[in-house]
Structure 1
Amino acid sequence: MSSPSVAPSPARVSAPPDAAPSGRRANPWLTLIAVAFGLFMVGLDGSVVSIANPAIGRAFDASTAGLQWVTNSYLLALAAALILGGKLGDRFGRRTVYLVGVTGFTLASVAIGLSGSIELVIAFRAVQGFFGALLMPNTLGLLRAVFPPRKFGMAVGIWAMVSSVSTALGPIVGGLLVEHVNWESVFYINAPVGIIALVVSALVLPQSKNAAAADEKFDVPGVVLLALGMLVVVFGVVKGETWGWSSAGTLGAIIAGLVLLVLFCWYESRVAAHPLLPMRLFRSPAVTVGTVVTALNFFVLLGGIFFVMLYLQNVRGFSPVEAGVRTLPLSLASVVASPLGAALTDRFGPRLTMPLGMVLQGAASFLMLTWSAESGYGALWPPFVALGLGVGMVMSASSAAIVGNAPVEDAGVAGGLQATALQVGGALGTSVLVSLIGSRVGSTLGSELTSAGVPEQTVGRLAEAKDAVAMGAAPVSDAMPAQLRAAVTEGSHAAFMSGVHTAVLVTGVLCALGALVSATVLRGQAAARH
């Protein structure tokens, strides 16, 4: 039979016990338009900074670690508070919390542009991430509350398209602004978008919440345990590059974070009367697999975009706009894949689209193994297309698997669960892949410079520039003879590409495992239901 394996039954998605909205607030498509503005801001900001990072680094003379924190402070704060944001929406009203998130996100964006140091940029990026966490999960919660079951899949497909396209458009928009205005404009652009989002949302969004949650005691220990666990785990991953992956500090941080997360799960399932994250959600294999694959989806996407932009700008020498335009196939593929993925998910369930999306992303990773410092565009665009198609497919499938299988009263927290997986995956992707590249560059730079013809005494001095090489830059100066400059550039780029190949090999293997697990588990669930 071809019925979706994880499609929610009508009884489970009936409207919550709120007063029925009327007029324009009763139109679910106006709700979709309103939340799309906020979603677009968050998605754009998740990737736009990757192309602004070189300019930010030059403006503040920032280190590689500093630039990583510009990205990761945002993603960490977002990931740590997403489930909290969804829970607040369920309790106090999704419309209210969404509007607070849009307002705070917009103000924080302006503050970033006004910052006068890399430390302030990092701090306000964290503030921006927190308000993004109030905004993002309630977009799905609002949609779940207003769309009937037969149209929810289509709404999720459009939601996924907006999320995927905004993320993929980040490098193009960022390139235009950095090249023709300045890096600050990358964040100022959120001001007009945020104002439009506030006006439209105030006019058309209905209020929806879980009425029973108003009398519940808030799960403060759960909030603290979850936030601390996520922060400590990702901090350990981020510091793994400088401390060493086998060092006591790195392993200690990661293990301590995992212990906190295990303690959080135990507390939520055994102690908390009104848990922040109801563990009953994970009784569904579709929810569990959807959460893991969502994290893997953005691990590959955001981590990949980060090093692809370094490759295009620092290795290939393209301007920010030229680099952004060359990634346009990724954006266009996402536009096609999201509604297509939604239609296929409605017809066959996530058991088809989720593994298919993972296969496409794995294919993109393995195709990148063919890249070199001199690759023509014919070698570049096929992985972009495969990656865009895969991301769009997985976004549609995971939304249906996670939010579509949650009780409607838990719609906000289910949206927060998906958004948390998405942002944790993105933070880990950026951290882990950049760390892998840096580690590989550190171990191969000397031999690659020697192979390129750089004298031994010069190799010893240049080995200290491994951080710059890990960003795709060659440590050359105008004072170097032309022949030496060419040799240093060749060796540095070869070391960087060796790091990129290591990173994409890891992502390809992870995608293959994700495809296998999702196909096996979701197919088994479908068979059990027939």
Structure 2
Amino acid sequence: MPTHPSPAAPGARPSRRGAPGPTLAAVCFGLFMVGLDGTVVSVANPAISASLGTSFAELQWITNAYLLGLAVFLILGGKLGDRFGRRRMYLVGVAAFAVTSVAIGLVGTTGGVIAFRALQGLSAALLMPQTLALLRATFPKEKFGTAVGIWGGVSSVAIAAGPIVGGLLVEQAGWEWVFYINAPIAVIGLVLGSRVLEESTAPARTRIDVPGVVLLALGLLAVVLAVVQSESWGWTSPLTLGALVVGLALLVAFGLVEQRVAHPLLPLQLFRNPTLTVGAVAVAVNFFALFGVTFFLSLFLLNLRGADGLTAGLMLLPLSGVSIVASPIGAALVARFGIRVPMATGLVLIAAALLALTGIDVDSPYLGMAVPFVVLALGVGMVMTAGADAIVGSAPVQLAGVAGGLQATSLQLGGALGTAVLAAVVSAGTAARLDGTALAGTEGVAQGLVPDGLDAATTALAQDAFAGGLHTAFVVAAVVALLAGVAAAVFARTPRAHHEAPEVLAETEAALAAGPALR
């Protein structure tokens, strides 16, 4: 439970610890770091590949090790914050994020970068759930939606800044500085957070569900491993199918265990609320599209079109920058119409933008990309705000940390699967178009790299093969977004907590905490 500071002595400077405004400012530093790292690496990927000699699968793992570390341990991070203190876990996570970021730049090997990226993801998993949980514990319910809107806006600023900051740092200082930049941000966040954040915990201390942690981690790892490695192993390979079957079996076992333990890592009864469930799906699909598309658009601009890092970052600015205004727009729409309208509308906008991007090729005018980027960004920002409100706003206050972990898990797992699934689609589409030609089996084309010394016809063939694979991936992501939009239109409802009187809400939450089922 939140603790309240003692009254200040006469004449003493009043304490800002636990005040809503400073709390929001403090958690935004950690949020900014995590959001920045989600997109800053995309522009640095070609430089990392050239410096370390990475394969296409290794390049995917540099992105996915971070996202997977986040996805696997975010719910655990929420649990740790609920039990041991959200302020404490937030500050530890920020410090660990800075240390692992510096280590990534220093290690000098592909394997080391992947390993430290995973540890960086674990650090982010510790701090990220605490951001929403601290806001939920600090802000009154009638102002929580506004706080989430600002939270989403800061995340959008970080996403927007990522490609530009990454491009500038790669050009001027080297790809390592893409990670070193986190250190000064973390120092400011630690100093401010230690001064203004007030400690809060869940009302009841519960045990950590170790079997649930292990099963969830191994299950998600196996599924993502199967998808990422399918490009090199083949979809019908016993290794791919075996990893996929093992992963799904472990996730089923996780579900069974969670129904039987006294203090589950993820109370599955939460998913009896259709709004929370569709919110988690919408957030996952949102970042399935955003992270997957950003990964390949960066390769398209840097490798296929030959743009430098800063130019590519500026070209991607409409995609990320418009999200800054889209999140507040989404918050206003949620306040006006509830969750359903902005969530469904945002997903439809994402699908429309992806379908519009199927028309781009190596010679397309920039306007043909910029307009779909703006539409995509509007959709992403709207879904980000509505999805967070649907998940955290639908959960009881005592499960705020778990709900924050679930929201962030959906985000990062969607991003990891988006990168992996769309990479498999692009690779398969590119390979199919090169089958039977002199370029068959050339791995670099799936990254937009056209071998030197080719004649004009063969160069055009390679360019068209990558663009065609990219178009197929856009169609796949658009279909997924449309299906999620239909689900949001049918099942999403504004959480009752936003409308109930405080005494009714407290009574309801007490009943939920006491019973085995949440609804």
When the two structures are superposed, what TM-score results if normalisation uses the length of structure 1? 0.90
d(CA) in 2 for partners of 1:332 and 1:53? 21
Is 1:289 aligned to 2:259, yes or no?
Answer: no
**For 1:24, what is the secondary structure of its paired residue?**
coil
Per the alignment, residue 60 of structure 1 pairs with 52
The amino acid that maps onto 1:414 is A
**Alignment counterpart, residue 40 of structure 1, candidates 13, 32, 48:** 32
Deviations 1:333-379 (A, max 9, x none): 10111011011112221111110110111011000011111100110
State the identity as a percent. Answer: 56
**Alignment counterpart, residue 219 of structure 1, candidates 209, 216, 230:** 209
Tell which deviates more after alignment, 423-432 or 486-495.
486-495
The amino acid that maps onto 1:116 is G
Per the alignment, residue 19 of structure 1 pairs with 3
Instruction: Spell out the pairing of 1:426-505 with structure 2 (5 A cutoff).
Output: 426-446=415-435, 459-460=437-438, 462-465=439-442, 467-477=443-453, 484=455, 486-505=456-475
Instruction: Spell out the pairing of 1:98-113 with structure 2 (5 A cutoff).
Output: 98-113=90-105
How far residue 25 of structure 1 moved from its aligned partner, in angstroms, is: 1.3
Q: Confirm or deny: 8 A CA contact 1:81 1:227 kept in the other structure.
A: yes
The amino acid that maps onto 2:2 is D
**Alignment counterpart, residue 324 of structure 2, candidates 307, 318, 335:** 335
Q: Confirm or deny: 8 A CA contact 1:474 1:488 kept in the other structure.
A: no
**For 2:208, what is the secondary structure of its paired residue?**
coil
**Alignment counterpart, residue 138 of structure 2, candidates 137, 146, 160:** 146
Is 1:382 aligned to 2:371, yes or no?
Answer: yes
Q: Confirm or deny: 8 A CA contact 2:301 2:312 kept in the other structure.
A: yes
Report the structure, 1 or 2, having the larger helix content. 1
How far residue 446 of structure 1 moved from its aligned partner, in angstroms, is: 4.3
How far residue 181 of structure 1 moved from its aligned partner, in angstroms, is: 1.0
Q: Confirm or deny: 8 A CA contact 2:2 2:137 kept in the other structure.
A: no
Is 1:122 aligned to 2:121, yes or no?
Answer: no
Q: Confirm or deny: 8 A CA contact 1:78 1:423 kept in the other structure.
A: yes
Per the alignment, residue 404 of structure 2 pairs with 415
How far residue 332 of structure 1 moved from its aligned partner, in angstroms, is: 2.7
How far residue 525 of structure 1 moved from its aligned partner, in angstroms, is: 9.3
**For 1:25, what is the secondary structure of its paired residue?**
coil
Per the alignment, residue 357 of structure 2 pairs with 368
Is 1:507 aligned to 2:491, yes or no?
Answer: no
Deviations 1:442-488 (A, max 9, x none): 110246xxxxxxxxxxx43x3232x11011111113xx5xxx1x223
d(CA) in 2 for partners of 1:399 and 1:64? 33
How far residue 171 of structure 1 moved from its aligned partner, in angstroms, is: 1.1
Q: Confirm or deny: 8 A CA contact 2:390 2:495 kept in the other structure.
A: no
Tell me, which stretches of 5 or more residues in structure 2 are unaligned?
7-14, 501-519
Q: Confirm or deny: 8 A CA contact 1:475 1:488 kept in the other structure.
A: no
Tell which deviates more after alignment, 256-265 or 281-290.
256-265
d(CA) in 1 for partners of 2:413 and 2:182? 23
Is 1:345 aligned to 2:334, yes or no?
Answer: yes
How far residue 116 of structure 1 moved from its aligned partner, in angstroms, is: 1.5
When the two structures are superposed, what TM-score results if normalisation uses the length of structure 2? 0.92
Query: RMSD over aligned Cα, in angstroms?
Result: 1.6
Per the alignment, residue 228 of structure 1 pairs with 218
Deviations 1:415-464 (A, max 9, x none): 000100100000011111111101111110246xxxxxxxxxxx43x323
Q: Confirm or deny: 8 A CA contact 1:86 1:134 kept in the other structure.
A: yes
**Alignment counterpart, residue 490 of structure 2, candidates 511, 520, 529:** 520
The amino acid that maps onto 1:175 is G
d(CA) in 2 for partners of 1:332 and 1:104? 28
The amino acid that maps onto 2:231 is E
**For 2:364, what is the secondary structure of its paired residue?**
coil
How far residue 258 of structure 1 moved from its aligned partner, in angstroms, is: 1.5
Instruction: Spell out the pairing of 1:244-255 with structure 2 (5 A cutoff).
Output: 244-255=234-245
**Alignment counterpart, residue 391 of structure 1, candidates 370, 380, 386:** 380
**For 2:322, what is the secondary structure of its paired residue?**
helix
Tell me, which stretches of 5 or more residues in structure 1 are unaligned?
1-16, 448-458
How far residue 327 of structure 1 moved from its aligned partner, in angstroms, is: 1.2
Q: Confirm or deny: 8 A CA contact 2:393 2:495 kept in the other structure.
A: no
